[in-house]
Amino acid sequence: MIDFLCIGAQKSGTTLLYEHLKKVDEIFLPQEKELHFFDNDQYYQRGLGSYLDNFKSAQVYQLKGEITPSYLFFDKVPMRIKQCIRKRDIKFIVLLRNPVDRAYSQYNMAYLTQEHEKFNFEQALIYESFRLKDHLDFINYTYIQRGFYSKQILNYFKYFKKEQFKFVLYENFVKDQSRYIKEIFNFLNIDRKIEIQTKEVFRNQYKPMKSETRYILEKVYEDEINILENLLGIDLSIWKGNMQL
C-alpha cells in the first residue's frame, strides 16, 4: 500500500521535490511524476488495482509514494484517498507558495509553455469565475482559487490527523534544499544520513507582475494568509509585503 503522498500545491516546488526523492534508495516513486488517480474520474473508475500497478516494481524495504500537486485542490480527493488507502498512518507532504506568486507562475505556464491561455494575466483573473465549467477548465484556469489553501487543507483534516502532514514553504525550500529534504526524511522516518546536493531551480523567464496587480492580489489573500498562519501554526511573514522569486 502507499506510504506517502505529496498533494500540492501546484507551482510550489513539487517537481524539485520529485527530483530529490527519486534518487533515494529507501523511496520508490513511479516513473511518471503525476498519476492523477484520485482527481481524474476516468482514472479513478479503472479501480485501485490499476493505480497500484504503478508501484509493483517497488522493493519490500522501500516507502512507496506519489506526487500529484492537484490532489490538494480538488474537494473529492481526500475522501477518495481515505476510502482507498487503508494505511492509517499514511503521510502527506504539502509544499505551499505565496499565493500571489503561485497564481502568476501558473498563468505563465499556461500562457508561455502550454499555450492554452490567450488572455493577459489581468484579463484571466477577471474572467476566471466565468470560465470554470468543467474539470479541464478547473485544471487550467483556477489561478486565484488554488491559492486559498486553508479551505483545501481543512478538507483533508476532516479525514486525517494534522500530525500526518508535513508543510514546507516553497520560498524556504528552494533556498535551503538540504535542510528541508532532511526534515522530510525525518517525517518519513528515514534515518540514514543522505548527502543532499542543491539542485538548480527552473525559472521561466517572464515579465514581472504589474505592481498594481500584485497589490490587488495581496489584498485578496491578506485574510487567507492570516487564517493559514493560525491553522498551521507557522510564520508566513515571508508572504506579507512585496516579494517575488
Alpha-carbon distance 63 to 169, whole Å?
A: 23
Alpha-carbon distance 193 to 123, whole Å?
A: 49
Average pLDDT over residues 203-226: 93
- Reply yes or no on whether the pLDDT at 129 is more than 50: yes
pLDDT in tens, 164-199: 999 999 999 999 999 999 999 999 999 878 888 898
Note whether 167 and 232 are within 8 A (CB). Answer: yes
- Map 40-80 to HEC letters: CHHHHCCCHHHHHHHHCCCCCCCEEEEECHHHHCCCCHHHH
Note whether 78 and 25 are within 8 A (CB). Answer: no
Contacts of 162 (CB under 8 A, 6+ apart): none
- What pTM did the predictor assign? 0.94
What is the residue extent of each domain of the chain? 4-239
The three cell numbers of residue 123 are 484579463
Note whether 187 and 93 are within 8 A (CB). Answer: yes
Instruction: Please tell me the total number of residues recorded for the chain in this structure.
Output: 245
Greatest mean pLDDT range, 71-75, 108-112, 133-137? 71-75
pLDDT of 245 reads 42
- Reply yes or no on whether the pLDDT at 200 is more than 70: yes
Amino acid, res. 215 = Y
Nearest CA to 121 out of 217, 239, 203 is that of: 217
Note whether 82 and 49 are within 8 A (CB). Answer: no
pLDDT-above-90 percentage for the chain: 82
- Reply yes or no on whether the pLDDT at 243 is more than 70: no
Domain 4-239 fold: Rossmann fold (3.40.50)
Average pLDDT over residues 74-89: 94
Amino acid, res. 130 = F
Q: How far lies 87's CA from each of 5, 37, 53, 135, in Å?
A: 12, 17, 17, 29
Amino acid, res. 21 = L
